Amino acid sequence: MEFTDVVANRRSTRAFETQPVAAEIIERVFSLGLKAPSNCNTQPWYVHIASGAKIELLRSMLPEKFMAGQLHLDYPYDGVYEGEFKVRQYAAAQALYDSLNIAREDKVKRHEAFMRNFTFFDAPHVAFFYLPAEFGLREACDLGMFAQTVMLGLVNEGLGSCPQTALGFHAGTIKETLGIPDDRKLMFGLSFGYPKQEEPVNQCVTDRALFSDLVTLHDR
């Protein structure tokens, strides 16, 4: 695919076919992702990909754990959005609910839609993105660049993905279930697979601020 088409076609996929992705495609995409830049080329990232019996085990556990309040986060969920950021957050949520035909005041349906995070939107694979425990903000930027490169690589293979901070609520359960060492901290998960193209939720398109609002040119 053309680079511009890859970028333009990436969007968060929230309904997947159950058909697994071939192991060689997964290896190709994540190997390409490893080309991402990082500060001093430290490559401060680990990825753990759950598929097959392991993802099914997680799928069977996470919703119940969430409802029981059995949560363990490696990083606090402390973002508070105000002003223009709150406006954008609201618009993104509205676009999602509109695609699902959920009224804003319908808390039950909104909750159901949110809970689909914990069954990975039926995806056959989920990748968990970890930082070595001793690192912080600077290395988190590296991790984000790596994840975006992976997401674009997935699009290039006809695949879709959804980055999910929500999966961070279950850092403890995921670590225990997959046997991940304690010196790795979970930043977010990424459900991926073949998108259900016709599914209304996958028609959800978010808008973007203008170049002139966010990019300042200093040239004189």
- Interface residues toward ligand FMN, by CB under 6 A: 11-12, 14, 92, 117, 162-166, 188, 206
Residue of 159, 105, 150 whose CA lies nearest to 128:
150
**Cβ 152 to ligand FMN shortest distance, Å:** 12
By the 8 A CB rule, do 154 and 103 touch? no
Instruction: Scan for tokens 């190709």, then name that residue.
Output: 28
Cα first-last separation, the chain: 38
Given the complex with ligand FMN, which of 43 and 148 has the nearer CB atom? 148
Instruction: Scan for tokens 């556990």, then name that residue.
Output: 61
Given the complex with ligand FMN, which of 7 and 22 has the nearer CB atom? 7
Burial of 67 (C-beta count, 10 Å sphere; 0-12/13-18/19+): exposed
**Cβ 55 to ligand FMN shortest distance, Å:** 17
Burial of 49 (C-beta count, 10 Å sphere; 0-12/13-18/19+): middle
DSSP letter for each residue of 124-170: SEEEEEEEETT--HHHHHHHHHHHHHHHHHHHHTT-EEEEEGGGGGB
Given the complex with ligand FMN, which of 164 and 173 has the nearer CB atom? 164
By the 8 A CB rule, do 187 and 130 touch? yes
**Cβ 95 to ligand FMN shortest distance, Å:** 7
Given the complex with ligand FMN, which of 70 and 165 has the nearer CB atom? 165
**Cβ 189 to ligand FMN shortest distance, Å:** 8
**Cβ 139 to ligand FMN shortest distance, Å:** 15
Given the complex with ligand FMN, which of 91 and 103 has the nearer CB atom? 91
